[in-house]
Copies of this chain bind each other. A is one copy, B any other.
């Protein structure tokens, strides 16, 4: 797993609200888009595990400037923490080199069997190995 990822994105019309700017709830989706793209770059899918899922346990954003329709921006995502069962990401959103917002996301690894409640488990070794490689690189 690479330890960082840069997602390029453009603001869509339906992401704006009547204040003329991107609704704040969208920033959390931008962060998640970058997370999933980072996984794909490592040859993985966040939804690909056999019975594994990654529910969010914490999510936060500080908003510094607005984003507007058609503006291009970047999400610079980094893994800032990891233990046996959780991964912590930080994503800096910027446009034209100016910081727009900073978000954090913590996810945990769970096993998911249809009809049963999700249960926290250790991150599987094959995924963990990719993180180790990234850390050592």
Contacts and interface: CB of A to CB of B under 8 A. Distances in A.
Interface of A: 12-14, 16-21, 23-26, 28-29, 32-33, 36, 40, 45-47, 53, 55-63, 66, 68-70, 112, 114, 118
A52 to B, nearest CB: 11
Copy number in the complex reads 4
A32 B70 CA distance: 13
A6 B45 CA distance: 26
Contacts of A12: 29, 32-33, 36
A70 B36 CA distance: 9
A95 to B, nearest CB: 14
19 contacts: A12-B32, A13-B18, A13-B23, A13-B46, A14-B23, A16-B17, A18-B20, A18-B47, A19-B55, A21-B55, A24-B56, A25-B26, A28-B28, A45-B69, A47-B70, A55-B63, A59-B63, A60-B61, A114-B114
